[in-house]
A and B are shown apart, each in its own frame.
Chain A
Amino acid sequence: KAGVTQTPRYLIKTRGQQVTLSCSPISGHRSVSWYQQTPGQGLQFLFEYFSETQRNKGNFPGRFSGRQFSNSRSEMNVSTLELGDSALYLCASNNPGEGGELFFGEGSRLTVL
């Protein structure tokens, strides 16, 4: 069974640009969550999607958005990038009701110059 796949793994952008990150969950998993990880703040919850619906959202500005497709694949977008958006973006999938364990992808490391 393939794990959670995130693309791209690394990317470099400049301030003001926008970026789209992709996440393919484990086959059969319908919930996808996104997290931002930085050395100082740790893992911070961005949002969670289930059946193409955003069910919960963290305390991030509107520049951060996401969506989920009918095949459970998810994308997140960050517009008007700022230096502080440099981070590791982790996607996790699970099936609600199956113990709550999150299965993480390898992450997309974004550097904003």
Chain B
Amino acid sequence: QKEVEQNSGPLSVPEGAIASLNCTYSDRGSQSFFWYRQYSGKSPELIMFIYSNGDKEDGRFTAQLNKASQYVSLLIRDSQPSDSATYLCAVSGGSGGYQKVTFGTGTKLQVIP
């Protein structure tokens, strides 16, 4: 079982729709959860982080965390073609400590104009 699992996609959504990206993790002790966006040919950049159960909103982005289900999700409202990228879920703070950030393989999102 992979430590962090994501559906590789691609996930295709029409412009203006809500994109829902999901991630599960295996280390129940994980404490910190991140979503990174990576455009083709570029390096990852952080878009959201969440530490507590529940929802966290930042503009068009909402991160959701359910530690009991070991599940993290990212919702993108009013999706734009510029949101087309690979979204990486990352976790830390488990058995590897906070210095080891483990990434999923990413979900490729395509927003169709």
Contact = CB atoms under 8 A, between A and B. Distances in A.
Contacts, number: 58
A56 B49 contact: no
A102 B97 CA distance: 15
B101 A42 contact: no
Contact of A33 (B32, B36, B88, B99): B99
Given A31-B99, A48-B99, A101-B49, A42 B43 contact: no
Given A35-B103, A99-B49, A100-B98, A105 B43 contact: yes
A105 to B, nearest CB: 6
30 contacts: A31-B99, A33-B101, A35-B103, A41-B105, A42-B88, A42-B103, A42-B104, A42-B106, A43-B103, A43-B106, A45-B102, A48-B99, A48-B100, A55-B99, A58-B100, A90-B43, A90-B44, A99-B49, A100-B32, A100-B34, A100-B49, A100-B92, A100-B101, A101-B46, A102-B34, A102-B46, A102-B90, A104-B44, A104-B45, A107-B43
Interface of B: 32, 34, 36, 42-46, 49, 88, 90, 92, 96-106
Contact of B98 (A42, A45, A96, A104): A96
A90 to B, nearest CB: 6
A56 B100 contact: yes
Contacts of B44: 43, 90, 102, 104
Given A35-B103, A45-B103, A106-B42, 13 more contacts: A33-B99, A45-B96, A45-B102, A48-B99, A55-B97, A56-B100, A58-B100, A90-B43, A102-B46, A104-B43, A104-B45, A105-B43, A107-B43
Interface string A32-66: 01010000011111001010000110100000000
Contacts of A41: 105
